[in-house]
Amino acid sequence: MLKGKANAMYKDLDPLLHSQVRLSIMSILVGVKKAEFSYLLENIKTTKGNLSFQLNKLKEAGYIKIIKSFKGNYPLTTCNITEKGIKAYEVYFNAINGYFKEFKEGQK
């Protein structure tokens, strides 16, 4: 019975953010507010195709905005986190912290 009670205390996790690459993107953007594609690629260590795919998922959810422009003669993609994205990240972060808190309390 206690097991059921403990499970009821865990909040659902946003499946969109429960992906390593998308969570990495959001974690970077929460700190810097906007970042170039190349910066994300360098720091996340994934492929260009996968990063593009994951960015589009976040864009479709309204968590980020993607701005296409040029830097000199070269295309430049910049990603900005939105208020909705910040809120979703905070909810996810707090839910994960709740899992850790429940685990620690269960260890006592």
Answer whether residue 8 shows pLDDT above 60: no
pLDDT at position 43 is 97
What whole-number distance in Å separates Cα of residue 106 and Cα of residue 12?
19
Mean pLDDT of the chain: 88
Answer whether residue 96 shows pLDDT above 70: yes
pLDDT at position 11 is 74
Tell me: domain 34-92, CATH 1.10.357.10, correct?
no
Instruction: Report the predicted TM-score, pTM, of the whole model to 2 decimal places.
Output: 0.83
Sign of the torsion angle spanned by Cα atoms 32, 33, 35, 41: positive
pLDDT tens, residue by residue, 32-47: 999 999 999 999 989 9
Average pLDDT for 47-57:
98
Q: Rounded to whole angstroms, what are the CA distances from 46 to 21, 74, 100, 101, 105?
A: 8, 21, 28, 31, 36
pLDDT tens, residue by residue, 10-35: 678 899 998 999 999 999 999 999 99
Answer whether residue 76 shows pLDDT above 50: yes
The residue type of 53 is F
